[in-house]
């Protein structure tokens, strides 16, 4: 899986040669491939729009998919895409320069959704929901224009867990980000190949590779967001009981509808007893 100096994609040039980093990289690639296979993401000859924000997660996503394609294990075309949403101070040259240097096919799209968000969201409210909807709509449009069958996002295991608890505590439902989703129009898949990858591994990987990280704080600090509170809660649990995140994520893959309370998932009304068998019949 790891390369010699004369057989390496530019994305991995300068990779640390330590045993720890090699194990990290192998783990990320293995878990990405597991998710792709488990959730049936591959359509041979398809074209994927790989969405890049410039954060640690999207760099890790691009690197993992490029590695798999480089090894002949991902028979799809990849188009990296960054949506510049017009936030003040956004370093617009970072990603195009990086992608060009690395020889990665890409498209950079400018759409000033920032102004719309600032105009529509009342003071004191969070921007993320509207910003996300506007971003997703533009990414769907770009995917169609580029002939892509899937929009590929960098959400990782911890994002999925946080969303689960957000829905549990604030939405009153058992739901999270699925690793594979069909959009409402039915013409595009949404994939999350990093579904099994821990956030900490993404951070270690992107930092070790010295990728040019663009922080997600261009809209200004919004302390007290519900997701931040959930993240803090999960961090505290993980500190007290190491490995708890992994256990909770395993539970999401081991749902038992008969042991929940949703009659739409399990036919409780139709559950019947078998006829009682008389074991000691009288003569």
Helix ranges (H only) for 52-127 are: 56-70, 94-102, 113-120
Angle between helices 128-145 and 113-120 (to 10 degrees): 150
pTM check: above 0.85: yes
Buried-exposed string 153-172: b where 16+ CB fall within 10 A, e elsewhere? bbbbbbbbbbbbbbeeeeee
Residues of the chain with pLDDT under 70: 1-8, 124-127, 217-224, 276-283
Domains of the chain: 10-254 (3.40.50.620)
For residues 39 and 74, is the Cβ–Cβ distance under 8 A? no
* pLDDT at residue 118 in the model: 77
């Amino acid at each position: 899986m790891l390369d010699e100096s004369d057989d390496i994609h530019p994305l991995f040039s300068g990779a640390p040669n330590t045993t720890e980093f090699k194990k990290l990289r192998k783990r990320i690639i293995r878990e990405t491939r597991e998710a792709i296979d488990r959730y049936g993401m591959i359509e041979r000859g398809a074209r994927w729009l790989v969405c890049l924000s410039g954060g640690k997660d999207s760099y890790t996503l691009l690197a993992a998919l490029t590695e798999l394609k480089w090894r002949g294990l991902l028979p799809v075309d990849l188009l990296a895409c960054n949506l510049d949403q017009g936030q003040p101070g956004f370093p617009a040259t970072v990603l195009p320069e990086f992608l060009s240097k690395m020889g990665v096919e890409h498209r950079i799209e400018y759409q000033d959704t920032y102004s719309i968000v600032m105009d529509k969201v009342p003071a004191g409210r969070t921007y993320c929901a509207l910003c996300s909807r506007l971003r997703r709509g533009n990414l769907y449009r770009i995917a169609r224009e580029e002939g892509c069958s899937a929009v590929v996002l960098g959400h990782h295991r911890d994002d999925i867990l946080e969303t689960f608890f957000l829905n549990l505590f604030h939405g009153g439902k058992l739901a999270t980000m699925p690793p594979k989703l069909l959009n409402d129009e039915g013409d595009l898949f949404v994939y999350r190949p990093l579904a099994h990858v821990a956030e900490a591994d993404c951070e270690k990987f992107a930092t070790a590779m010295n990728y040019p990280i663009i922080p997600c704080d261009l809209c200004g600090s919004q302390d007290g967001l519900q997701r931040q509170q959930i993240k803090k809660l999960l961090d505290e649990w993980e500190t007290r009981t190491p490995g708890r995140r992994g256990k909770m994520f395993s539970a999401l893959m081991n749902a038992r509808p008969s042991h929940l309370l949703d009659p739409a998932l399990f036919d409780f009304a139709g559950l019947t007893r078998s006829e009682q068998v008389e074991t000691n019949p009288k003569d």
